Structure 1
Amino acid sequence: MPIDPAAFRTAWPQVVRSLAVTTRSLDSGEEYAAEAFARAAAQPDGAIDDLVAWCVQVGRRTWLDAVRHQAVFTRLQPQIARPEVAAVDVPTGPGAPGGDLDDRLALLFVACDDALASGAQLVLAMRVVCGLTIRQIAAHLGIAEATAAARLTRAKSALARARGEFAVPDRAARAARLPVVLACVAGLFTVGQRDGIEPADATQDPARDALTLAEALVAEYPEDPEVLGLRAVCRLGLARRPGRVRDGVALPLDEVDRSAWDQWLLSAGLDDATAAIVRTGMPGGPGGPGRFALEAAISGVHASVRDEAGTDWSRLAQLYDALLQVWPSPATRVARLVVLGRMAMRDGHDLSQIEHELEDLVADGPPYAARDASLALADLARRTGRTDESAGRYRELLDVIPAGPLREFCRRYAG
C-alpha cells in the first residue's frame, strides 16, 4: 500500500525511538524501522489500521529473528515468549528520562551526544532524525558527499561504543546538548529555504519540519531566548516565502509581493523575535544576544517594512556585526557584505573593497558560501548597470544552481 508522506513523517520517529529502546541501539532502531516500513508499503490497501504499532511489531519480530540467528536464543527466550505489545511502549512520565519529549526531539538529543565530534553530531542528527539526504547534508556543511557518508558511519559506531544501550539523556544532559540541537534544526530550515523556495509537496518540506521541531523545543524551553529566536527565524522565513516566486521564477527583493505574506506567522514571528531579544537582558540571562536571537532580529527588520525602500540597512549592518562576533560563519560574512553593498550604493560609495571580499569567498569559501557570494556579485553588477558583467556571472551560476525558481531567476538575467 502506498504510505502517505505525512503519515510516514509522523510515524518514523516514533517507530525508530521504540525500536531503539528495544534493540538498545539507535543504529539498529533505524535499520529495523526501515525494514518495517518497507514491508508496510508492500501490504494491500486497508491491511494496516495503525501504522506505528504495525511497524513496531514487525520491527521487533525482525530483530528477534536476527537475534536467534546470532545464537543467543536461550538468553532472550523470556522476551520472545512475552506477548507482543501493539502500542509504542517507550517509557514515559516524569520517572523516565525524556519520556514526555516529542519523539523527534528525543532522537535529536540522542544523536547530538557530546561523545561525538561536532561534525559527526550534525551529520547523524540531520540524516537519522531530520531525514535529509547525504547530498543535502554535504551541501549544507560544505563538505564532499563521501566525507558526509563516512562521518555518518563513524558517528553510529562511535555512539554505540560510547554509550552502549540506547537511552534518551536526562534533563541536565539535554541542556548541555541544546546548542547542537538548535544548530541541527536551523540547518534543516536553511536546507528547506535554500532548496525549496516553492516546494511542490508540502509534506516534504524541510523548512516546515524545522518549524515543527522549533515549536516542540519552545514547549520544552519556553523561556530560552535562543530557542525563541530559532522559532522566530522559522516563522518569519516561512511567513515571507509566499510572493517570492512568479511563474516559476524567484523574484529579487524589490519585486516580492509582500501582500502575499502570511500575516499570522509574521505577527507570531515578530513576537518571538522581540521576546528573544528582551530575555537576553533579563537577570540571570546570557551576557548578550546569541546567534538565533540576532538572526531573529535581522529577519524582523526585513519583515517589518512595507517595501524594500524602507529597509533599515544601517540597523542590519549593526546586527550582522554583532552576529559575526558570536557566529563567524561564511554565510554570515556573505550576508553582511550584501548589506554593506546596499549601503554603499545608497550613499554613492565605492564597491571595490566589498566586491574584493566577496571574490575571496567565491575562491576560498565552502560551496554554499561561494554560491551566495557569486549571487551577491551578480546582483551588485546588475544594480550598478554593469549589464555584461552581471549576465556573465548569472550564466556561470546556471551551472551550479539546481533546477528550480532560483535557477530560473539566474536565467532571467543571464541574457
Structure 2
Amino acid sequence: MTDELQPADRRGVATDGGSPAEVFRVFLKLGLTSFGGPIAHLGYFRDELVVRRRWIDDAGYADLVALCQFLPGPASSQVGFALGLLRGGGWRGGLAAWVGFTLPSALLLVACALGAAAVAGAGGLLHGLKLVAVAVVGQAIWGMARSLTPDRPRAAIALAAVLVVTFAGGAGGQIAAIVLGALAGLRLCRGEAPAAASQLRVPLSRRTGAACLAGFAALLVLPPALAGATGSQAIALFDAFYRSGALVFGGGHVVLPLLRAETVAPGWTSNEAFLAGYGLAQAVPGPLFTFAAYLGAVMEPAPNGIAGAAIALVGVFLPGLLLVAGALPFWDALRRRALAQAAMRGANAAVVGILGAAFYDPVWTSSVLTPLDFALALAGFLLLTVWTAPPWVVVVLLALAGALLGGA
C-alpha cells in the first residue's frame, strides 16, 4: 500500500484500508514535526489525514476528537491511535500509529535524561527551563479556562477543585476533585443540548471493547497489590505511571501534578529535575506524555535509565489506549446521553482548578524566586499567548537567559 490519497466513504473512513507500515510512516512524520501541544497536534492530524490523505472525513474526525476529549488520557495520542486502528484494520495499525508518533520525542527526552549528569552543574540553564514551565502551564490554564469554564457554574466548580486539591493534597485530592466535579456537572451543567454524533466503521467488536475496559480496570487494582506483596520497584513504577495516565482529563499538561505526586513526593526524583525535564518536554515535537520517559530514566531507584523509561512510557500511555479501544464500539450510544455529557463538563471544569493549584505549587513557588524570574516568566507567557511563538522558541530563549544570568 502506498501513501496515495484515498477517497473517504460516507461513514467517514477511507474505503481502501491501509497497512501498518503505511500508518507508521505517516505518524513518524507527524511525530517529528508536530510541535505545540495537543490542540496543535489535532490541527496537524486534520491537515495531514483529513485534508491531504483523506483517510477520514471531517464528520468522522470530529467524532473521534469528541471521544478522546470525553475520556481520560492524552487526547492527541488517543486520536492518532484510533485513526491507526481504523486505517490499519485493527491493533497493528493502532500500535503503529502510537509508536510512530511517540518514538521521536521519547528518544530525545531519554537522551537528555541520560546526559543529565553532564549538565547537573548548569544551575542557571535548569532554572531557565523551570521558568519555561511557568509560562507553558500559565498558557495552558489561560486557554483551558476560556473553553472549559465559560459560565458561572463551571467557574465555581473550578474554584472548588482548587480548594479541594490545596487542602487535601496528593493524588487523592486530585481524584476527589475530578469525582466531585463530575457530580456537580450532573446538577449544574445540563442546560446544553447533546452533541450530534456521526457513525464510524470500527474494526473492533463490543466483546473486544468490553475486554479492553476490563483490562483497564484490572490494571488499576492489581499492580498496587502486587507491588505491596513483592516489593518490586518495577511494578511500583508501572503502577505510578499507569495511575497517572488513567486520571488525566483535559490535556497533557494536567499530567504535571499527577506525576509530581507519584515521583517527587516518594523521593524518586527531585523537584528540580522534575521541572527541568518538564521544560525540556516543551522543546520536542510529539506528545507531552513522553515526559514520563524522561522521569523513568532519571529516577534514583532502579529500574531507571532505558528500562525505567520504557516502563514509565508504556505505563502512562496504556490506560488511555485501552479506554479508546474499549469505548469505540459503544461510542455512538454513549455520546448521545445528556447526563454523560453534563458529567464531563463538570469534570473538565475541575481539571482547570487542579491545574491552577499545581501552577501555584510546585511550578510558581519553586521557580519564581526574584523579580527578574517573574519578568522572564511573564515574557515567556506573552510570547506564547500574544505573539503565538512556537514553544521551542520560548524554551531556547528562557534556557539561554537562565544560563547567562546564572553565570553572571
**TM-score tier after normalising by the smaller chain length:** under 0.3
Higher-Rg structure is 1
* Structure with more contact order per residue of length (Cα contacts < 8 Å, sep ≥ 6): 2
